[in-house]
Amino acid sequence: MEMSPIATAILKVIRRSRKPLSKADLVKMTSFSLATVNEHTEFLLRSELVVETERGPSTGGRKPILLTFNAELGFIVAIDLESTHVRVGIVDLNSRILTSESSKDIDVSLGPSAVLEKIKAIVYKLMEQLGVTSHQIKGIGMGVPGPVRYSAGITTSLAIMPGWENYEVNQFWSRHFDCPCFVDNNVHTMALAEQAVNADSEHANIIYVKIGNGIGASIICNGRLYRGSTEYAGGIGHINIGHDKLCYCGNRGCLEADAGGRAIAARAEHLAQSGQSEFLRRLLEEKNKLTLADVRKAVVESDPVAVELMRECGNVIGDVLAGLVNFFNPSLVYIGGAVSGVGDVLLASIRQSIYQHSLPLATRSLAIQHLSLGESAGLIGAGMLAAEEIIYGHDVIKRIASVQNIAGER
Amino acid sequence: MEMSPIATAILKVIRRSRKPLSKADLVKMTSFSLATVNEHTEFLLRSELVVETERGPSTGGRKPILLTFNAELGFIVAIDLESTHVRVGIVDLNSRILTSESSKDIDVSLGPSAVLEKIKAIVYKLMEQLGVTSHQIKGIGMGVPGPVRYSAGITTSLAIMPGWENYEVNQFWSRHFDCPCFVDNNVHTMALAEQAVNADSEHANIIYVKIGNGIGASIICNGRLYRGSTEYAGGIGHINIGHDKLCYCGNRGCLEADAGGRAIAARAEHLAQSGQSEFLRRLLEEKNKLTLADVRKAVVESDPVAVELMRECGNVIGDVLAGLVNFFNPSLVYIGGAVSGVGDVLLASIRQSIYQHSLPLATRSLAIQHLSLGESAGLIGAGMLAAEEIIYGHDVIKRIASVQNIAGER
């Protein structure tokens, strides 16, 4: 028993709508006939993918039945893995977070087995708290801090993630859960979440930039996530900007070796040791090591050396983005990730460089702004990724709908 | 009388096919029923957009009727304008060149009126030679050496084309011809022609790079030309590469101010004047001015200084492309334009830089090659642009088909 393309199209309209829809609404929004809408909504109601809500206002006769997507039909495990912390959540089929937990007791460089076992323990804990059995988990969505062969569910890894090269993350989860698993670079999951929040926007061509320890981008082209020919699109962290620092990838001159979070912390330590910043020097003395959080502290306290450091990084990142704006001509550039939270000076200097080094023709109507979702974007996006793949996948009826109500019919 | 979407879909299949098709072929290729194919091919035959050719081999019964696109139903004027020369042609609806003429007696910097009047004279001459009346011209396709607001038919101009800013090129032609005119950046027309030649290829994500006096790119994303949010995508000539030469756009550091054809000629003159190249010095003495053709001569004669100049330019262009490959992850990068014809050293050094500065993940299956079409790519593409817009436009029946046969029916 498979969903027909027409039922899927109607389901998409119902799911995307911010309010419950009548059949008359659906006729208007899909251009299908009322008979077609009747036939397929009946199917969707029996499958429980769609449920009736309160009746709408009467337009003379009986109040019309209103339909809405049944986001409670199943649960999704959402995982947002960063290099030194993880967020895990149980979400509904709209990726609304039902419960979640963060852990900093994680380090991707320890390899996939150790990391995934820890995450699994958190997943089981959250399931128990929520009273959810593994049978009710319909899918797993996971973001990882590096490139992924998405179609295969395999991390392709850079040196930042030793042991993850060609690791079949989806195979790990399928040993523990009888549901599909979808693994993606977490810059893409972040972008998916933002796209969903801004679904009504008219921006069709967008570059999402995530500046964390690494720097990556996600490309929305004609309204859809663009993955590239070998699913590596957006790998801007290793664009050569001409400096001579060695990057962990083996090349010299990579963007993230100069302006990524790890590089910023290292540069701050250098500024502390050389005594250029008294503020950073004192912090280093206290803690023996500086992190991005320390740089943020210094920026908040208006330490001029730290502010200048962030301005430099913003300019460097902005110069690279200026080139990409000339090339791709987006209408929006979104800036997110941990480094973007350090202070407004970064965004300001990124903007300055883009407007300086892109042609006016390309920036005529370009907006450059912070992400609207906060830290949970990656988690929500991971849940959304899995939910969409399952709901619009060919075996949705088998996977999550109430088979017993439909089997044998039609 | 408009074409139905189904008739258009069938027409596309017939037009793209390299050989005539039977109705049985069409059923197989479109998944429409035989009744649907019968109904709509009958319509296409009456409109003369499709004609019967010789009958195919019998499979037992009568030999089947074979259908093919009627490319002779009308003529297209194709124009490929470069900064100092133009190619003009009359082509059929498959953009096969019927007659053409090149002229070097042109200079875009003289402004649109002077240039377009000269082109018009060539158009009329070619029409007379071919015995074509202006009533038989069904469309005009024109490529120009700079950015265009394609949807409006307006050149947006850079300083290289004074007087062309916001010039309505399509309005000029509509004063002389009663048919639609389509104007595009000539890097896009070049890409369209190449795409058509390679229609069977599996490459869906491609960067076409044109290195002439300016440097521009055309992006094929998921199999289709991507124009960007303000129709400026591909403007890579003004990506900042960090040198301090002033570009005509007003910025310093632009790629084409260092490695475009004009820059290469200027650098060659400098190498001649400083005596670094004896070969170039002698040429300059003879001619008082060096052009790209002189640099080509020096490279062909293996003048090491000229070869080194081209290698440097290739590396600089390759470094920019390496970043775009990391970002866009295409499976093909095509190199074309006058500079690419100077010698193989350019392509070799572009390749070297891309492979050196892109991550292996992005270049795993990347091919970097010369365009397969020669100098006429821009002309063929301009004709193709207009032909496709007209054939698949909503008023094709009114524009080119035999209205008298169809009017009033159905």
Please give the pLDDT value at position B347: 96
Please give the pLDDT value at position B255: 97
In whole angstroms, give the CA distance from residue B48 to residue B402. Answer: 7
pLDDT values of chain B reduced to their tens digit, one per residue, 410 residues? 578 888 898 999 999 888 999 999 999 998 888 998 999 999 999 999 999 987 666 667 777 889 999 999 999 999 999 988 999 999 999 999 999 999 999 988 888 999 999 999 999 999 999 999 999 999 999 999 988 999 988 888 666 677 888 889 999 999 999 999 999 999 999 999 999 888 778 899 999 999 998 999 999 999 999 999 999 999 999 999 999 999 988 889 999 999 999 999 999 999 999 999 999 999 999 999 999 999 999 999 999 999 999 999 999 999 999 999 999 999 999 999 989 888 899 999 999 999 999 988 899 889 999 998 888 899 999 999 999 999 988 778 777 765 444 544 43
Nearest C-alpha neighbor of A367 from the set A327, A335, A345 = A335
Answer whether B323 touches A (CB < 8 Å).
yes
B245: left (phi over 0), alpha (psi -120 to 50) or beta: beta
Tokens of A12: 């998409």
Q: What is the DSSP string of A70-108?
A: -GGG-EEEEEEE-SS-EEEEEE-TT--EEEEEEE----G
Answer whether A232 touches B (CB < 8 Å).
yes
In whole angstroms, give the CA distance from residue A152 to residue A36. Answer: 36
Please give the pLDDT value at position B396: 80
Answer whether B352 touches A (CB < 8 Å).
no
Please give the pLDDT value at position B33: 87
- A373 vs B81, higher pLDDT: B81
Please give the pLDDT value at position B403: 47
In whole angstroms, give the CA distance from residue B124 to residue A240. Answer: 51
Residues 249-308, chain A, touching B (beta carbon < 8 A): 249, 251, 253
Please give the pLDDT value at position B56: 64
| Statement: residue A402 has pLDDT above 70 | no
Please give the pLDDT value at position A407: 45
Comparing CB atoms, the residue among B158, B226, B235 nearest residue A221 is B226
Please give the pLDDT value at position B27: 93
Q: How far is CA B35 from the centre of its chain?
A: 39
Using a CB-CB cut-off of 8 Å, the residues of chain B touching A204 are 229
Please give the pLDDT value at position A186: 93
* Nearest residue in chain B measured CA to CA from A224: B222
* Angstrom distances, CA of residue B119 to CA of A305, A405, B1, B374, B377: 60, 71, 35, 22, 18
Instruction: Give the CB-side neighbour count of residue A181, counting CA atoms within 13 A.
Output: 21
Residue whose pair of structure tokens reads 């004009």 in the numeric block: B262
**Strand partners for A155:** A148, A167
In whole angstroms, give the CA distance from residue B204 to residue B206. Answer: 6
Confidence of residue A403 (pLDDT cuts 50, 70, 90): very low
Please give the pLDDT value at position B4: 80
Confidence of residue A409 (pLDDT cuts 50, 70, 90): very low
| Statement: residue A56 has pLDDT above 70 | no
In whole angstroms, give the CA distance from residue B84 to residue B392. Answer: 33
In whole angstroms, give the CA distance from residue B196 to residue B206. Answer: 13
Average pLDDT over residues A332-361: 93
Give the pairing type, strands B97-103 and B137-144: unpaired
**Domains of chain B, each with CATH number or no CATH:** 5-69 (1.10.10.10), 73-191+376-399 (3.30.420.40), 203-370 (3.30.420.40)
Answer whether A219 touches B (CB < 8 Å).
yes
Three-state DSSP at B223 gives coil
Three-state DSSP at B364 gives coil
Answer whether B217 touches A (CB < 8 Å).
yes
- Closest Cα in chain B, distance from residue A239 (Å): 5
Using a CB-CB cut-off of 8 Å, the residues of chain A touching B361 are 147, 156, 230, 232, 235
Please give the pLDDT value at position A178: 92
B137: left (phi over 0), alpha (psi -120 to 50) or beta: beta
Answer whether A318 touches B (CB < 8 Å).
no
| Statement: residue A163 has pLDDT above 90 | no
Please give the pLDDT value at position B407: 45
Q: Mean of the per-residue pLDDT values for chain A?
A: 91
Residue whose pair of structure tokens reads 């817009």 in the numeric block: B389
Answer whether A328 touches B (CB < 8 Å).
yes
| Statement: residue A202 has pLDDT above 90 | no
- Closest Cα in chain B, distance from residue A183 (Å): 17
Confidence of residue A164 (pLDDT cuts 50, 70, 90): confident
Which residues have CB under 8 Å from B233's CB, separation 6+? A327, A328, A329, B219, B226, B227
Please give the pLDDT value at position B159: 61
Q: What is the DSSP string of A325-387?
A: HHHH--SEEEEESGGGGS-HHHHHHHHHHHHHHS-HHHHTT-EEEE-SS-TTHHHHHHHHHHH
- Dihedral of CA B147/B149/B155/B159: which sign? negative
